[in-house]
């Protein structure tokens, strides 16, 4: 009797989500979140978000809080319509990350997860706009930051 491929008949939620990496080019937003998909299976669990935050130098408390907060808010929005999210696992599906956009988004990514600039990443004008918006909101902005823009 022949052995089944590892993913055949898998009951692991999102096991078919890894095809997001094989279908061609990712949107800029998908590329952004793919960093946190540590095992590249197309699904980001809180443990992977935690590992990603630790990899960029965040401390344990911030990494733990961020993992629960981000996965708790984005996960339910990204679950494919034909699947049910596993209880209490809070997965984020890379393939559907554009569904997690919210009203206070920066506007760098459009509804499809692409950038308005038509290339990979934010345009200089978009980045400048983000910094200026941030500076206006912050009463403790660094005076020299304005000189760099």
pTM of the model: 0.61
pLDDT tens, position by position, 5-61: 333 333 344 445 667 787 778 888 888 899 999 999 999 999 999 999 999 999 999
pLDDT at 88 over 60: yes
Residues with Cβ within 8 Å of 48's Cβ and at least 6 positions away in sequence, in order, are 36, 37, 38, 39
Residues with Cβ within 8 Å of 40's Cβ and at least 6 positions away in sequence, in order, are 18, 21, 34
Q: How confident is the model at residue 105 (pLDDT cuts 50, 70, 90)?
A: low
pLDDT on residue 42: 92
C-alpha 115/C-alpha 111 separation (Å) is 9
pLDDT on residue 147: 38
**Residue 112, both tokens:** 């499809």
**Domain spans of the chain, in order of start:** 15-102, 115-149
**Residue 140, both tokens:** 């403790």
Pair 91, 108: CB distance under 8 Å: no
C-alpha 60/C-alpha 27 separation (Å) is 30
pLDDT on residue 41: 93
Per DSSP, which regions of the chain are E strands? Answer: 43-44, 92-93
CB-based contacts of 126-129 (< 8 A; 24+ apart in sequence):
none
pLDDT on residue 11: 38
Segment 88-103 mean pLDDT: 85
Residue 36: Cβ within 10 Å count: 21
Q: Where do the H-state alpha helices sit in 79-122?
A: none
pLDDT at 143 over 70: no
Which residue shows structure tokens 């299976």?
Answer: 41
């Amino acid at each position: 009797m022949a052995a089944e491929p590892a993913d055949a008949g898998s009951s692991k939620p999102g096991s078919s989500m890894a095809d997001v990496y094989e279908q061609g080019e990712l949107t800029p937003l998908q590329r952004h979140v793919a960093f946190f998909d540590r095992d590249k299976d197309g699904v980001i669990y809180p443990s992977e978000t935690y590992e990603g935050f630790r990899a960029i130098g965040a401390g344990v408390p911030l990494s733990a809080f961020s993992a629960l907060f981000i996965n708790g808010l984005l996960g339910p929005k990204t679950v494919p319509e034909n699947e049910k999210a596993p209880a209490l696992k809070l997965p984020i599906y890379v393939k559907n990350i554009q569904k997690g956009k919210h009203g206070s988004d920066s506007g760098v990514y459009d509804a499809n997860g692409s950038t308005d600039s038509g290339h990979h990443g934010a345009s200089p004008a978009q980045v400048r706009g983000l910094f200026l918006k941030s500076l206006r909101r912050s009463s403790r902005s660094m005076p020299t930051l304005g000189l760099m823009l």
